[in-house]
Amino acid sequence: MKPRIILMIAGFLAVSGCTNKRTCPGIDLSQSKTSGGEININLSVDASGSMKGYVNVPGSEFKRVLEILNSSLMINSALGSDKSTTTAWRIGREPPGKDRKLKINSLLVARKRNFYELNAEQGWTNVSSSLEQFVPKKPKQNSVDILISDLEPDNSAINTLIKVLKPRLDIGDQLTLVGIKSQFSGGVFPTTAGDFKSFTFSGVRPFYLIILGSPYRTERVVEDLMQNDSLKGKVQITRFATNAANGYTLFVDKNSTIYKPKGCMFPAFSLKVGMFGKFNVDNNAKWTLVKRLRGCTAKEVALQFKTPQMDGFYPQSITDLNMLESSSNMKIDSVNLSSSGMNLQVSPQLPLGGLSSFQLSLNTTEDDTRRWKDWSTLSSNPEGGKTQRLMDLIRRLRRESDGNKSPGYKYSPLRVCGAIQN
């Protein structure tokens, strides 16, 4: 079945005399950026043998990312903080199951093949993936933890990873998954022994960063990456959050909103409810409040919304209206979803008099499928240019995060909240 992106619209709700504060979920970092304070950064590199293929190709994107992170994070005052402490780790599991986590003085050592092999001089052993190791058992305050891996977990590894991630999400951290396509030449191995016979692959193969920390800090890491032209068109990003207080969301650029027909509607700072009430909102910066002029005789009015650019979103534009869903009170005229943001035109059907509110958001469950299906492969029929069981991991993360702390809440990277007074 053709995957769909669904734009959820919590319908036009008639409001009469109600002054309860309306909430628009998500964090608007353009309004809430903070810096300063001491932070602790942990950079963990998966040292399993399946990672060798990324370093066998001179100038691979994998090597480039290691250089970017080493430059931007292995220094004091990283991520806009007054003081930062950064520690790099080589992680993995030795047979018969002993975790192996060693400090390394620089990420640049992970650019060499021997980082993923037995090296007695350095104290390195052959290890298998142990992804959960990147999350400290006793994280320090203001911790940012980053895993660099090909991210091919079996069922047991997914369960273990979810177990260590959930407490951090529950206390307000955001998890950001960054997929990067890199040149590769090396072995591809089954996540579960016996699924298939290992084989050699040369070509483009994804690797991943899992970034865990406050929304502001995790987005700073993303910004550092996306400033590099060499990665343009090779990066995909998805975010996970358990409630409205810890998920980075793009809201409408109100200065770019277009009202049709011209002179029929205008933006308002506040709206009245009844004779003496006020339509209360949690944050005016998130809300588009609109008044329709009494002299407006147009049978139909329309609003054109635009969000700012969102890095790591869709490389191609999505314009299919069948991917959208609305209430009966709103007609969606057009939509364009891309890395440039969202362009949306709607035609609200307003009742005579009174006030109506609405909320539009992207359905992340459908978004995940659309975004990652071409990056994921089955262990039963593996493709060297894709990641085994990636969709299994993403679906578990989404299921374990959405609504975990706020029942009914679903994280969305894009949201439109507004109200119109007729």
Per-residue pLDDT tens for 351-410?
A: 666 788 888 888 788 889 888 999 999 888 899 999 999 999 999 999 888 877 777 778
d(CA 313, CA 272): 37
Say which residue, 214 or 1, is predicted with more confidence.
214
Q: What is the pLDDT of residues 263-284, one digit of tens each?
A: 888 899 999 887 778 899 988 9
Alpha-helical runs (H) found in 26-76: 29-32, 52-55, 61-73
Residue 10's pLDDT is 38
Residue 7's pLDDT is 39
- Residue 403's Cβ-count burial label (10 Å; 0-12, 13-18, 19+) is middle
What number is the average pLDDT over the span 120-137? Answer: 86
Task: For residue 261, say if its preceding peptide bond is cis, omega within 30 degrees of 0.
Answer: yes
Q: Which two tokens stand for residue 210?
A: 């899992």
Q: Which two tokens stand for residue 301?
A: 């009015």
Say which residue, 60 or 361, is predicted with more confidence.
60
d(CA 198, CA 187): 7
